[in-house]
Structure 1
Amino acid sequence: MPRTTPLMIQIATGDPRPIAKQIVDGVRRAIAAGELEVGQQLPSVRGLAMQLMINPNTVAKAYGELAAEGWLEARQGLGLYVAAPRQRLSKGERERRLDEAVQRLVNDVIGLDFPPATVLSRVEQELAPLAAKKSA
């Protein structure tokens, strides 16, 4: 059994988000969905950089952000591991980020001319499997 859990995240060159942000979002999603469990070791900075064919500094930046937010914990000389769940952000910060995400979604879909019920249904469809994995 491998010590390090491979990260199955893809970097999209056409994505407007910086590569480091794509990594942060991918790891957060994998943890929230239960694909990465507490205590699992992540690939080294160099290992993930080689896997994704990107600069190691980009991976280090992403890992640093995840560790600062409490998603990952660094164990000296051993690497990075998925941290135990805890409230990582204050209620105010969580509300602010939710507001930003909703505004981005609204700005992205407003020109598509779908009724609000269709948009809400699609969001629920995307969240449902994640909630099911998290509670299982």
Structure 2
Amino acid sequence: MARPRPLMIQIATGDARPIGRQIVDAVRMKIATAELVQGDQLPSVRGLAQQLMVNPNTVAKAYAELSAEGWLESRQGMGLYVAAMRQRLSDDERERRLDDAIGRFVNDVIPLGFPADDVQARVAREFQQLVPRKIA
């Protein structure tokens, strides 16, 4: 029987996002960048809660959200696994989330006073570091 892959994520206590949101975001990113692939088993709720030193209910809620969105699938009596790749959100919802993320990013970055070209170059560099993992 396959063992769950360790889920190497960190929770930042200074992060404005709630712990559950940090877990959801980290798992989504690992799937999107192919660090976790279809069929990989995730740690149990209790196991991840102990690893991160958080309340198991927080992990359970994060896993439930990821399952509801189609990122994870539950196999009766066996645990949670990365689900098959599919479009998880409608085109309209994807557009809305992109607009929201860009709006938050721009509002955070403009007051820092960097030239737009510098910001765009850094974003492009970061994007390129993540995207090749997904394609390869």
Pair 1:16 & 2:16 matched: yes
* Seq. identity, %: 68
Instruction: Report which stretch shifted further, 73-82 or 119-128.
Output: 119-128
Structure 2: tracts of 5 or more residues without a match: none
- After superposition, the Cα gap between the structure-2 partners of 1:75 and 1:2, relative to the gap in structure 1 and judged at 3 Å, is closer
DSSP 3-state at the match of 2:37: coil
Pair 1:70 & 2:70 matched: yes
Q: How many residues were matched structurally?
A: 136
TM-score normalised to the size of structure 1?
0.97
The one-letter code matched in structure 2 to 1:85 is M
The one-letter code matched in structure 1 to 2:90 is S
Match of 2:133 in 1: 133
The one-letter code matched in structure 2 to 1:18 is P
Structure 1: tracts of 5 or more residues without a match: none
Pair 1:58 & 2:58 matched: yes
Pair 1:90 & 2:106 matched: no
**Structure 1 segment 101-120 matched on structure 2, within 5 A:** 101-120=101-120
- The alignment's C-alpha RMSD in Å is 1.1
- How far residue 110 of structure 1 moved from its aligned partner, in angstroms, is 1.1
Moved over 3 A (4+): none
TM-score normalised to the size of structure 2?
0.97
Distance 1:89 1:64 in 2: 16
The one-letter code matched in structure 2 to 1:131 is V
Match of 1:49 in 2: 49
The one-letter code matched in structure 2 to 1:10 is Q
DSSP 3-state at the match of 2:81: strand
Deviations 1:88-134 (A, max 9, x none): 00000000000000011011111100011111111111111221011
